[in-house]
Amino acid sequence: MGAALKKSSGLAIGLADRDEGAFLGIAASAKGFAWRDRLDPGARNVATAISQRHGLPELLGRVLAARGIKLDEVAVVLDPTLKALMPDPSVLRDMDKAAARLADAIIAGQNVAVFGDYDVDGACSSALMHRFLAHHGVAARIYIPDRIFEGYGPNPQAIEALVKEGAGLIVTVDCGTTSFEPLAVARKLKTEVIVIDHHQADERLPDVAAVVNPNRQDDVSGLGHLCAAGVVFMVLVATARELRKRGHYASGTAEPDLMGMLDLVALATVCDVVPLVGLNRAYVVRGLKVMGQRRNLGLRALFDTAGLNQAPTPYHLGFVLGPRINAGGRIGDAALGSRLLAGEDEAESAKIAALLDRLNKERKAIETEMLEQAISEADRMLEADPDKGLVLLGSEAWHKGVVGLVASRLVERFRRPACVISWEEAKGRADASGTGSLRSIAGVDIGGAVRAAVAKGLLIKGGGHAMAAGLTVAKDKLAELEAFLAGEVSASVTQARGRAGLEIDGAMTASGVTDELIDLIERAGPYGQGNPQPRFAFPAHRVKFAKQVGESHLRCVLEAGDGKRLDAVAFRAVGQPLGDLLANAGGFPLHIVGNLKRDTWGGRDKIELQIEDAADPRRQ
């Protein structure tokens, strides 16, 4: 290990251990956060043991220990494989039933309808099933409901239409677990259904041929962290095994290249923001390698349209490919994403990718306009009531497909839950309603509050999980709903905001930032939900240069006491306390926190710090 890296590792331990309270003594940063060491004393001991037993640098030991990695898990974490991390698919409830029924359909040559969701996970899941069936010569029809007019999941009209078109089997992916009425229509029409899903389930399940869902209450597989595409992949593995047992491949049909489909599983896993732990890490690590080969025509076309000519990373999946695929479901044709990912025609793939790129630009423009309006309204609301626990806004002019994105931005800006509603045009009607999306902060269960509102009769429908939820509400119930939700979350919001902090993996200087260091950090990736990107503090660094780029970003050059410099960028910081502090430090040293990225955009190859927060030590 190089001298610079040894130095940075030592600094990462020493500075963090000087103060058992706030990290570097920062109790209130530019963003109002207290800084904390991500490692408690017990984890620090584990970090040392990991480093010593496995011959790893202390810094990597700290990163692993801070994420709960045990001594005997290190080898698998640093080299995640499906062989080591994927259990026998039969551990999932109803898996064998689903595999047998799919094998029956393939052998009989039945027409199969795949009913998916309109987001990235739904598009990837639908494409996976379509590709598998097509390989076996089975005609598969993908149906994606319209986000605006049909909403999420199966509906009776669509199910009836698929049966009339000749579907002998319907497979729902990323939906269907709670679709009792629509799937009862299929049963009445004597068409069997397989549900492959990952959403939370009630004790009651639909009466279908199989429900493969690791989050059904009687499933003990421990795979509830998988996205739908991850579950679909396991179903395909089990189905191929069943066909092999029946001798199907001995008759001349080639076995499917399941490993070659992992690019779609990786894309869905990152974009659905499921925890990047266990099997999910293997999906992403192996899937990125497959994606780098650009064998999927749709993904290749999307990369080309976005101007990407480098090896894909989780960032590209989450912030370049994902938004473009989602754009179809938000403001265009909901089926575009699945058609792109399942397609085998190069010209058609290029056409769809270009359309999705254009729709994504339109989505950005819509989001920007909505966000400006929402921020202005929220500022007025919070000026009148700074302690308000929930920001709830709505407008008839707001696009239903973008409300969730705006809600996320409001949470990021105001550090409290937000609900953004798109109202129908009332036109004097007393029964006008609106569709809303809610996003929350850590420690505040917004999904529970929405379910309580449903139980109280305040919503037409609603549901979700702790960090995100959706609802449909009658306009004449809005005031009562707002009061109820505020009452449900206010106490937990106050508590969560009071303990809000940034967890930091260690402290280092610009001189310690090397390619060798980045390689070590990447070994413990990919990072995302459940496996947070390592966050480092850079104490007493001066801002030598700060320039606004784009509408709201700030590009900087940081300088350590020894004169070593580091490129940095603070996204969406202009006009915010963080941007003001960086731009107006006047040469005084600041403590700066962020994560390190290797930037290869446009042929460059450099390392930069993505600044998350900063603090002036003189003001503590």
Enter the tokens of residue 518. 């980045």
**CA atoms within a 13 Å half-sphere pointing along the CA-CB vector of 288:** 20
Rounded to 5 degrees, what are φ and ψ at 36? -135, 150
Q: What is the pLDDT of residue 516?
A: 87
How far apart CA 570 and CA 506 sit, in angstroms, is: 20
CATH 3.10.310.30 fits 385-499, yes or no: yes
- Taking residues 147-174, report their average pLDDT: 93
- Taking residues 550-575, report their average pLDDT: 94
Burial profile 92-108: b = 16 or more Cβ within 10 angstroms, e = fewer: bbbbbebbbbbbbbbee
Q: What is the pLDDT of residue 426?
A: 63
394 and 436 in contact (C-beta within 8 Å)?
yes
The kind and range of the H/E element at 36 are: strand 34-37
How far apart CA 556 and CA 592 sit, in angstroms, is: 12
Q: What is the mean pLDDT of the chain?
A: 91
581 and 614 in contact (C-beta within 8 Å)?
yes
Strand ranges across the sheet with 169-173: 140-143, 112-115, 169-173, 192-196, 210-212
Lowest mean pLDDT among 2-11, 242-251, 275-284: 2-11
Name the residue with tokens 């494989």. Answer: 81
Name the residue with tokens 């729709």. Answer: 359
Q: How do residues 178-236 score in pLDDT, each as one tens digit?
A: 899 999 999 999 999 999 999 888 889 999 999 999 999 999 999 999 999 999 999 99
Q: How do residues 508-552 score in pLDDT, each as one tens digit?
A: 999 999 998 888 888 899 998 889 999 999 999 999 989 999 989
Q: How do residues 495-508 score in pLDDT, each as one tens digit?
A: 888 777 899 998 99
CA distances from 563 to 12, 467, 542, 582 (A): 19, 43, 10, 18
More confident call, 281 vs 523: 281
Amino acid letter, residue 531: N
- Taking residues 153-164, report their average pLDDT: 95
189, 175, 165: which is closest to 113 by C-alpha?
165
- Decide: helix, strand or coil at residue 322: helix
Q: What is the CATH number of domain 3-39+502-619?
A: 2.40.50.140
Name the residue with tokens 């509830």. Answer: 224
pLDDT level of residue 446 (50, 70, 90 thresholds): very high
pLDDT over 50 at 1, yes or no = no
- Decide: helix, strand or coil at residue 263: helix
Omega cis (within 30) before 526 = yes
**Beta strand 112-115 pairing with 169-173:** parallel
Burial profile 542-574: b = 16 or more Cβ within 10 angstroms, e = fewer: bbeebeeeeeeebbbbbbbeeeebbbbbbbbbb
pLDDT over 80 at 425, yes or no = no
> In 67-222, which residue ranges form alpha helices assigned H by DSSP?
74-78, 82-85, 95-108, 120-135, 156-164, 180-188
Domain edges within the chain: 3-39+502-619, 85-358, 385-499
Residues linked to residue 615 through DSSP beta bridges, in sequence order: 591
Number of H helices, E strands in the chain: 22, 18
Q: What is the pLDDT of residue 262?
A: 98
Query: May I ask the CATH architecture of the domain 85-358?
Result: Alpha-Beta Complex (3.90)
Kindly give, in sequence order, each residue whose CB lies less than 8 Å from that of residue 562, ignoring residues fewer than 6 positions away.
Answer: 509, 511
503, 459, 515: which is closest to 485 by C-alpha?
459
pLDDT over 70 at 121, yes or no = yes
Enter the tokens of residue 240. 């191929």
- Taking residues 389-398, report their average pLDDT: 95
pLDDT over 50 at 320, yes or no = yes
513 and 12 in contact (C-beta within 8 Å)?
no
- Secondary structure of the chain: what % helix, strand, coil (to 5)? 50, 20, 35
pLDDT level of residue 467 (50, 70, 90 thresholds): confident
* Sign of the dihedral defined by the CA atoms of residues 483, 488, 492, 493, in that order: negative
pLDDT level of residue 261 (50, 70, 90 thresholds): very high
26 and 539 in contact (C-beta within 8 Å)?
no
Amino acid letter, residue 147: R
How far apart CA 534 and CA 173 sit, in angstroms, is: 34
Q: What is the pLDDT of residue 15?
A: 43
Q: How do residues 348-391 score in pLDDT, each as one tens digit?
A: 999 999 999 999 999 999 999 999 999 999 999 999 999 899 99
pLDDT over 90 at 92, yes or no = yes
Virtual torsion, Cα 394, 400, 401, 404, nearest 10 deg = 30
What is the DSSP secondary structure assignment for residue 617, as one 8-state letter? G
pLDDT level of residue 18 (50, 70, 90 thresholds): very low
- Taking residues 35-48, report their average pLDDT: 93
How far apart CA 23 and CA 38 sit, in angstroms, is: 9
Q: What is the C-alpha end-to-end distance of the chain, expressed in Å?
A: 36
**Beta strand 210-212 pairing with 192-196:** parallel
537, 596, 561: which is closest to 14 by C-alpha?
537
pLDDT level of residue 163 (50, 70, 90 thresholds): very high
Rounded to 5 degrees, what are φ and ψ at 523? -65, -30
589, 549, 584, 551: which is closest to 569 by C-alpha?
549
Same CATH topology for 3-39+502-619 and 85-358: the answer is: no
Lowest mean pLDDT among 305-319, 365-379, 553-567: 305-319
How far apart CA 244 and CA 141 sit, in angstroms, is: 25
More confident call, 421 vs 149: 421
Amino acid letter, residue 558: L
42 and 63 in contact (C-beta within 8 Å)?
no
- Taking residues 315-332, report their average pLDDT: 92
Kindly give, in sequence order, each residue whose CB lies less than 8 Å from that of residue 557, ignoring residues fewer than 6 positions away.
Answer: 543, 544, 545, 565, 566, 567, 568
pLDDT over 90 at 6, yes or no = no
* HEC secondary structure over 95-112: HHHHHHHHHHHHHHCCCE
329 and 126 in contact (C-beta within 8 Å)?
no
Kindly give, in sequence order, each residue whose CB lies less than 8 Å from that of residue 105, ignoring residues fewer than 6 positions away.
Answer: 112, 133, 138, 168, 169
Q: What is the pLDDT of residue 601?
A: 60
